[in-house]
Structure 1
Amino acid sequence: MTRRPVRRALTVWRRSIQARVVVSTMVLAALVVGVVGWLLLHQIADGLLDDHVAASQAEARNETTSALVRLSAATGGETDAAGQVAQLAESLVLRGDARGFQVAVTGPVGGSGPAAVGTRSTPGLDTQSVPRRLREEIESGAGFAWTFAPVRYLPETGQESAPAVVAGASLLLPADGSTYAVYYLFPMVEEAETLSVVQRALLTGGALLLVMVGGVTWLVTRQVVVPVRIARRVAERLASGRLQERMHVSGEDDLARLATSFNQMATSLQQQIRQLEELSRVQRRFVSDVSHELRTPLTTVRMAGDVLHEARDDFDPVTRRSAELLQTELDRFEVLLADLLEISRFDAGAAVLDLEDINLVDLAHRVVEAVRPVAEAHGTHLVVRAVGPCIAEVDPRRVERIVRNLVLNAIDHAEDREVVVQLARDDQAVALAVRDYGVGLARGEAAMVFNRFWRADPARARSSGGTGLGLAIALEDARLHGGWLQAWGEPGGGAQFRLTLPRRAGGALTRSPIPLVPPDASRRGRVAGARLGVAGTGGTP
């Protein structure tokens, strides 16, 4: 259940510039506010602490001086040490209650005096609040010392412990001449409350500041992002073919000038696209008309050529050779004319499929047997490899033409080596791959092999009588089926062409049963194929 909100949040983060800017600004603002607040809080705390320490030390020294004055004013003949200590402790406790600090009197210290009187302190005070290190320092003879420590109270008081400044001083008691220790505990309750108030104020102010920064950032980015979103929607409509779409221009700022430039670009693109469409229409019409018009004179020339070819044995050697060349070129010209007519049908969108269920393995064997004489003339051995039948709903004539073009192309470039036709299937698709081990394809040529009239090596003769349109027609046939036709190759390592078709007409393809880069390719060829070697229509290696 938690994955869906997380996925939505990640989608918004990836797609929304405004969300990224607002969140990034708030995060940076939070860091700045946090650092500034931390510094301010520490400065305030240090100031309060220094003031409290100074005031506590002054108060402790004053109380010690007052106690010494009162003790020196006592009658010299008084020998009741316990009573004198009790009177001293009582006066200090009363003064502490009035001024907000606690007192503890212990002694005698250092083993002086006839007997210890114990510890007298403010009622409810836990005398263990005085740190041992401070006790040892005072008992060792230090006249005055202080430290930080928590002041604790007895459970029955219900008071909570609090940080405090604990100061200690030693006093000489006239009654017995012994040294006693007086400890003053100054709780920092008010300072803690002040720091708490300051902390709450900083947190509240920081939160309000972050909200304000987020709101301002959202408003500012909205002024920039909204026109960009409008431009994106207009661009999407332009890409879908609605070339008349334009952006609304208001004002004279940079965004208005951007909208004006965008509209000018759209108008220019619209004009150029219309010119290209018109040129393409004229070109397609020209090819179609010329192809149809050439059929009549070609038929006449064909009839005359057939007569000459049949009577070639009665001619002299030169005339006989001319008749044979004429017949060969007429055959090639007829194939070229048929290919041009087929291309014109694809360009006009008039090509349709005549679907039926066939076994591509049988079709591949039929094509291989038909072209075997050509392969034997080139010293090329043809092999068909398939595991089980590969049934698919396709147009047999068009698929057979694709396979024939691929096999003849492989024979042309196999350089007297083996050509392997491999077939495979899965639940979604059937695939046929034609692998040769000849000259292969140079880097970048796999993206051009399906171009019309393109040749990898213009000086290389077409031994199979090709027209330069075979692979282009094969690509259009594959697209008409909703399939993929792709090429891979490496120089000196041969090439592989892969045809992938859905098993049912109209089915979607997401993978192919045969890898485009063959397993026997070199390591460099596999890397190049994974990066650049895929060309044709759709799919992945």
Structure 2
Amino acid sequence: MTLPTGLRRALTFWRRSIQARVVVSTLLLSAIVISAVGWLLLQQTRDGLLRHRVDIVVGEVEAEVADTRDRLSRAPGNEVNASQQRADLIDPIIEGGESRGYGVVLGGPEGSPADLADGGAQRTSGLEIESVPGSLERHFDGVNRSTAWTYTEIVRTLPDGSTEREPGIVVGSQVRLPADAQTYTIYFLFPLTEEEETLGLVTRALLTAAGLLLVLVAGITWLVTRQVVTPVRMARRVAERLAAGRLQERLLVTGEDDLARLASSFNQMASNLQRQIRQLEELSWVQRRFVSDVSHELRTPLTTVRMAGDVLHDARRDFDPVTARAAELLQAELDRFETLLVDLLEISRFDAGAAVLDVDDINLLDVAHRVVDFARPLADQRGVLVVVEQPDKPVRAQADARRVERILRNLVTNAIDHAFPDDTDRPIVVRMAADEHAAAVTVRDRGVGLAPGESAMVFNRFWRSDPARARSSGGTGLGLAISLEDAHLHGGWLQAWGRPREGAQFRLTLPRRVGTPLRHSPLPLAPVDAGAPAPEAPDELPAEADAGREPRQGVTS
């Protein structure tokens, strides 16, 4: 699934910015702490307001009930009309409640089947009976019950017929009516409007303070991280310039703190690296110049020695056996010495950056057949079979035919050198394939193979996996190094895979058109017949594929 461009950029910024991660992480932690503290403060404020309100309303109810009982106790003795006495009981309470903002409900006599839901209860105008919770009613289902309270939702019917609901506290208390000797329950319903407003005000104040505190924390965190991250970013930019070859770049040192001392140490390190790199460059230049001069200077005496050696080699039949053998050895070593000089001159051209391509549209199958025909005498001498697999379609590329042929010749002769002698059951196989963007050739042998880590060293100059092993082809030790440079000159890859006693496989990948960057290879590097897990796609390579790979420039393989 492809992410939107904005989200992808945001994720990239998040991964790369330490400052953003520190600021956001600090804000999240601060928000969690502030939220927890704010919630705790709100809970404590709410509980305190409610406790205070409960104490007030319970005291007010007890005072009202005490006044009512005192008033009933002073009633005339001949007052026997229970209805009139009940009206004298509740009407003053209802009128006082309306003036002081609370509602009153008078329940029927306890012990009788009547209850509040029967509709006979007296109450403040507009107040609904459902405002009294059933749990409180059940508490007063009897006589001589103590005063009790609970939270409730007060429901009122407005003059326009709509219903209004608000939180409140209901307090119940019992009064005995002398006229009929019955016990009645009076419910006082007090709204919590003022407490709600106070709690809302406190909540808004806490939210405002939390927002300002988060902004302050974000600002402080951003400022602190900026003071730390800015020098680090400057050091990164200078390090990138140093890596790009601008060795004169240095950090600006201000102050005497730890960051300033770090910048001074960084500058000192850069100066030491610059001095050592220049020394190495001078030494490398001297070495390359020495190799080039020696190679050129040796050609003249080598030509003279070659002429004398040819004369001795042609006349070896007239010599005694020891002298004839010496003439043959001289001729063989002269051939090897001449090949070494040619390779050294080629390496010096690569080192000097003087190597160029003679590009043409070539058929890699024809090149592979020429190489195999050239190497067949050596393969027959070793008792090894070399096979070229016919591709499904033509494998063509724009390349230098001479250099590509030299690469394949080095790979095939190297495979013959490291194959087991007289092993015709496991031939050396040359495969090739191409797609729209790349062409590839693999050379697979089943010889001694490569130990772990050797696939990264096999392209080093004069490196040999087994120094005691004889070279059947008389190689110079520079063949694979030259082949790697030839592959890089094309913008291609030359990579190696191997396992001990399971053989090795080398893969050459070239772009179909010169200048086109490589992004994958049409052939896998790890051979399936060696028991290695086949990659899911040609460009998903195992760890051994890094051998011979160019430095990454936005291209993966």
Task: Provide the TM-score with structure 2 as the length reference.
Answer: 0.93
Kindly indicate whether residue 162 of structure 2 is the aligned counterpart of residue 153 of structure 1: no
- Given that 1:153 and 1:159 are in contact with CA atoms closer than 8 Å, whether structure 2 keeps it comes out as yes
Alignment of 1:87-126 (within 5 A): 87-111=88-112, 118-126=120-128
- Matched to 2:408, the amino acid is V
Q: Which position in structure 2 is the counterpart of 1:215?
A: 219
**Local SS of the residue matching 1:156:** coil
Deviations 1:488-517 (A, max 9, x none): 001111100000000001111000000011
Offset, 1:448: 0.3
Q: Which position in structure 2 is the counterpart of 1:173?
A: 177
Kindly indicate whether residue 53 of structure 2 is the aligned counterpart of residue 52 of structure 1: yes
**Local SS of the residue matching 2:529:** coil
Query: What CA distance in whole angstroms lies between the structure 2 residues aligned with 1:502 and 1:391?
Result: 10
**Local SS of the residue matching 1:393:** strand
Query: What CA distance in whole angstroms lies between the structure 2 residues aligned with 1:465 and 1:269?
Result: 40
Q: Which position in structure 2 is the counterpart of 1:531?
A: 543
Match for residue 521 of structure 1 among 522, 527, 530? 530
Offset, 1:160: 3.0
Query: What CA distance in whole angstroms lies between the structure 1 residues aligned with 2:3 and 2:208?
Result: 31
Q: Which moved more, 1:89-98 or 1:290-299?
A: 89-98
Match for residue 485 of structure 2 among 476, 484, 489? 476
Query: What CA distance in whole angstroms lies between the structure 1 residues aligned with 2:351 and 2:119?
Result: 117
Offset, 1:264: 0.7
Q: Which position in structure 2 is the counterpart of 1:320?
A: 324
Query: What CA distance in whole angstroms lies between the structure 2 residues aligned with 1:232 and 1:117?
Result: 84
Query: What CA distance in whole angstroms lies between the structure 2 residues aligned with 1:392 and 1:143?
Result: 103
Query: What CA distance in whole angstroms lies between the structure 1 residues aligned with 2:110 and 2:534?
Result: 93
**Local SS of the residue matching 1:66:** helix
Query: What CA distance in whole angstroms lies between the structure 1 residues aligned with 2:3 and 2:269?
Result: 45
Q: Which moved more, 1:158-167 or 1:83-92?
A: 158-167
Deviations 1:447-471 (A, max 9, x none): 1000000000000000111000000
- Given that 1:390 and 1:430 are in contact with CA atoms closer than 8 Å, whether structure 2 keeps it comes out as yes
Query: What CA distance in whole angstroms lies between the structure 2 residues aligned with 1:112 and 1:510?
Result: 91
Alignment of 1:75-90 (within 5 A): 75-90=76-91
Query: What CA distance in whole angstroms lies between the structure 2 residues aligned with 1:533 and 1:395?
Result: 24
Match for residue 430 of structure 1 among 424, 435, 439? 439
Offset, 1:118: 2.2
Q: Which position in structure 2 is the counterpart of 1:127?
A: 129
Kindly indicate whether residue 414 of structure 2 is the aligned counterpart of residue 409 of structure 1: yes
Kindly indicate whether residue 345 of structure 2 is the aligned counterpart of residue 378 of structure 1: no
- Given that 1:247 and 1:263 are in contact with CA atoms closer than 8 Å, whether structure 2 keeps it comes out as yes
Match for residue 348 of structure 1 among 352, 358, 375? 352
Deviations 1:203-237 (A, max 9, x none): 11000100010011111111111111111111111
Kindly indicate whether residue 317 of structure 2 is the aligned counterpart of residue 308 of structure 1: no
Given the superposition, is the C-alpha separation of residues 2 and 444 from structure 1 closer, same or farther in structure 2, using an over 3 Å criterion? Answer: closer
- Given that 1:82 and 1:117 are in contact with CA atoms closer than 8 Å, whether structure 2 keeps it comes out as no
Given the superposition, is the C-alpha separation of residues 521 and 540 from structure 1 closer, same or farther in structure 2, using an over 3 Å criterion? Answer: farther
Query: What CA distance in whole angstroms lies between the structure 1 residues aligned with 2:301 and 2:48?
Result: 108
Given the superposition, is the C-alpha separation of residues 462 and 331 from structure 1 closer, same or farther in structure 2, using an over 3 Å criterion? Answer: same
Q: Which position in structure 2 is the counterpart of 1:485?
A: 494
Match for residue 396 of structure 1 among 398, 401, 404? 401
**Local SS of the residue matching 2:510:** strand
Deviations 1:6-64 (A, max 9, x none): 12211111111111111111111101100110111111111111112222222222211
- Matched to 1:129, the amino acid is S
- Matched to 2:155, the amino acid is R
Offset, 1:532: 4.1
Query: What CA distance in whole angstroms lies between the structure 2 residues aligned with 1:112 and 1:230?
Result: 88
Kindly indicate whether residue 267 of structure 2 is the aligned counterpart of residue 263 of structure 1: yes
Kindly indicate whether residue 142 of structure 2 is the aligned counterpart of residue 137 of structure 1: no
**Local SS of the residue matching 2:463:** coil
Match for residue 283 of structure 1 among 260, 279, 287? 287
- Given that 2:157 and 2:164 are in contact with CA atoms closer than 8 Å, whether structure 1 keeps it comes out as no
Task: Provide the TM-score with structure 1 as the length reference.
Answer: 0.96
Offset, 1:373: 1.0
Given the superposition, is the C-alpha separation of residues 117 and 513 from structure 1 closer, same or farther in structure 2, using an over 3 Å criterion? Answer: closer
Query: What is the CA RMSD across the aligned residues, in angstroms?
Result: 2.0
- Given that 1:371 and 1:408 are in contact with CA atoms closer than 8 Å, whether structure 2 keeps it comes out as yes
Consecutive unaligned residues in structure 1, runs of 5 or more: none
Q: Which position in structure 2 is the counterpart of 1:365?
A: 369
Q: Which moved more, 1:374-383 or 1:54-63?
A: 54-63
Offset, 1:112: 8.6
Q: Which moved more, 1:390-399 or 1:155-164?
A: 155-164
Q: Which position in structure 1 is the counterpart of 2:453?
A: 444
Offset, 1:534: 3.2
Kindly indicate whether residue 199 of structure 2 is the aligned counterpart of residue 186 of structure 1: no
- Given that 1:107 and 1:117 are in contact with CA atoms closer than 8 Å, whether structure 2 keeps it comes out as no
Query: What CA distance in whole angstroms lies between the structure 1 residues aligned with 2:415 and 2:126?
Result: 104
Consecutive unaligned residues in structure 2, runs of 5 or more: none
- Given that 1:26 and 1:214 are in contact with CA atoms closer than 8 Å, whether structure 2 keeps it comes out as yes
Offset, 1:159: 6.9
**Local SS of the residue matching 1:411:** helix
- Matched to 1:64, the amino acid is V
Q: Which moved more, 1:305-314 or 1:160-169?
A: 160-169
**Local SS of the residue matching 2:156:** coil
**Local SS of the residue matching 1:186:** strand
Query: What CA distance in whole angstroms lies between the structure 2 residues aligned with 1:463 and 1:9?
Result: 59
**Local SS of the residue matching 2:530:** coil
- Given that 2:427 and 2:446 are in contact with CA atoms closer than 8 Å, whether structure 1 keeps it comes out as yes
**Local SS of the residue matching 2:542:** helix
Offset, 1:140: 2.4
Deviations 1:81-122 (A, max 9, x none): 222222222111122233332111121231299xx9921111
Query: What CA distance in whole angstroms lies between the structure 1 residues aligned with 2:471 and 2:259?
Result: 58
Given the superposition, is the C-alpha separation of residues 238 and 81 from structure 1 closer, same or farther in structure 2, using an over 3 Å criterion? Answer: same
**Local SS of the residue matching 2:189:** strand
Match for residue 474 of structure 2 among 465, 477, 480? 465
Offset, 1:266: 0.9
